[in-house]
Amino acid sequence: MFENALTRFSFIIALLVVPLVMTPALARPVDGFADLAEKLTPAVVNISTSQTVEERRSRGPGQPPFDRFFEEFFNQRRGGGKAPSQKVSSLGSGFVVDPKGIIITNNHVIEEADEITVTFSDGSKLDAELIGRDPKTDLALLKVSSKKNLPFVPLGDSDKARVGDWVIAIGNPFGLGGSLSAGVISAINRDINAGPYDSFIQTDAAINRGNSGGPLFNMKGEVIGVNSAIISPSGGSVGIGFSIPSNLAKTVTAQLQDFGETRRGWLGVRIQQVTDELADGLSLGKARGALVSEISPDGPAEKGGVKVGDVIVRFDGKLVPTMRDLPRIVAETKIDKPVQVEVIRRGKSRMLKIVTGRLEEASTKATQEERPQEKARTTDDVTILGITVQSLSRENRQRFGLAEDVIGAVIIDVARDSAAFEAGIRPGDVVSEIDQKSVGSAEAAVDALKAAKKTGRNSVLAFIRSGETVRFIAIPLSD
């Protein structure tokens, strides 16, 4: 009897507690989204494009010979050997951000279009002119001419968006204009390998084909994202959609409107991710920042005093949490602007003053620095930690295709069961620095590794050249 009473008591407590815990997580705005939809929908437009392409008639080498003969015969009877052209249409979304007719959409919506038509929620249509586009961020800016001011929506601050915030998407999925879907922000600063400046807002609001270029709104009615991509094996929404943050869109579209093109900042470095192992060798404490592995000659970084092996942790007052954050931060910086850059060099913080350049002015020539002439040249093999190295010589330069200006110790062999092999070290790699100190021979490399082992550390930082690629590797110090 006591057990039955206890069971009933527990059940009652569960009934009382669960709703209190669950209700806030599932609560929608009290009045729903109707008021927002009525206010915002007039500024969201459908974008249709057309492109003239040549019709492909031939089925290729595998086409039956008689089919090809009759196809060519009838094509010539129609007046020539060229296949007739046809128009290809596509649909997408966009939104007005200026009452004078400025519209934001995706680059892939209007790319290679001959004609662009904008359809408003009231059914009216206007031809659009392309102001500019930016494939790297998948953004484009259009202009329509209207005798009256057009309804528009403001761009909000996407940096204030938080995981769990309610958002709504309005667009043209599958050609069904004026469609609204609601959801929450699932993640921020998402990298999906779509471009060099990925920082997507991820949402579970339904985004489908045709939603591209449409707005993602917060509950204030501000645009915080431009819907751009989905992950879906079927082509339909599975609750994983991605939007370009509005703050990135502000910068890009402002440049497109002013110049018809983007003008990005340029630093002139090649960088790599800082792993936990590299952080240990760099005395960083924890993995952060962007590790400089190469510097462009006469670029802003070289002129500002940046060195190979520096870790950039702050740029123009903005933290650089990971490697992929730096290109976006630099790109958004004004050209010719003097900025303060914090680097960690040999475990110590340094402040450098750098004047940003323009990305398009970046030199395409090789970025190798001039190297001093190598001194010792022997062919004696030395093995340590499963790595067999030689000093550079004419023979092994020829064997591994190494240029005369490359210095260091060349790796001849790596034991497959060694920690060094697991770390990615391979024959033909050249070690030019160990523990951020230059090594010009096999003997110097081995001495540096032995010295590092005596410190009791788990790994040591090495600067490696693999073909045309240079990078830092944390060499494990365990046999």
* Burial bucket for residue 263 (CB in 10 Å: 0-12, 13-18, 19+): middle
Dihedral (Cα; 89, 90, 93, 98), 10-degree rounding:
-40
Picking from 387, 377, 479, the residue whose alpha carbon sits closest to that of residue 428 is: 387
Catalytic residue among 48, 90, 138, 296: 138
Please report the DSSP string for 88-133 in residue order. Answer: EEEEEEEEEEETTTEEEE-HHHHTT-SEEEEE-TTS-EEEEEEEEE
Please answer whether residues 442 and 470 qualify as being in contact, where contact means their C-beta atoms are separated by less than 8 angstroms: no
Q: What does the angle CA 231 – CA 236 – CA 241 come to, to the nearest 5 degrees?
A: 40
Q: Is 432 a catalytic residue?
A: no
219 neighbors 166 (Cβ within 8 angstroms): yes
C-alpha 207/C-alpha 302 separation (Å) is: 45
Among 445, 460, 451, 447, CA closest to 407: 445
Count of helices and strands (H, E) across the chain: 11, 27
Choose the catalytic residue: 108, 158, 186, 246.
Answer: 108
C-alpha to C-alpha distance for 37 and 176, rounded to whole angstroms = 15
Q: Which listed residue (93, 212, 228, 459) is catalytic?
A: 212
- Can you tell me the distance from the alpha carbon of 382 to that of 379, in angstroms, rounded to the nearest whole number? 9
Q: Write the single-letter amino acid at 154.
A: P
Residues 97 and 37: their CA atoms lie apart, in Å, by: 16
| Contacts of 457 by beta carbon, 8 Å cutoff, 6+ apart | 280, 281, 477
Among this protein's residues, is 438 annotated catalytic?
Answer: no
CB burial string 210-240: b at 16+ within 10 A, e below:
bbbbbbbbbeebbbbbbbbbbeeeeeebeeb
Length of the chain: 479
138 belongs to the catalytic site: yes
Q: Are strands 311-315 and 290-295 parallel, antiparallel or unpaired?
A: antiparallel
Residue 204: how many CA atoms within 13 Å on its side-chain side? Answer: 9
CB burial of 369-387 (b: ≥16 within 10 Å; e: otherwise) equals eeeeebeeeeeeebebbbb
For 174, other C-beta atoms within 10 Å of its C-beta total 12
Q: Which residues contact 39 (CB under 8 A, 6 or more apart)?
A: 221
Active site residue ranges: 108, 138, 212
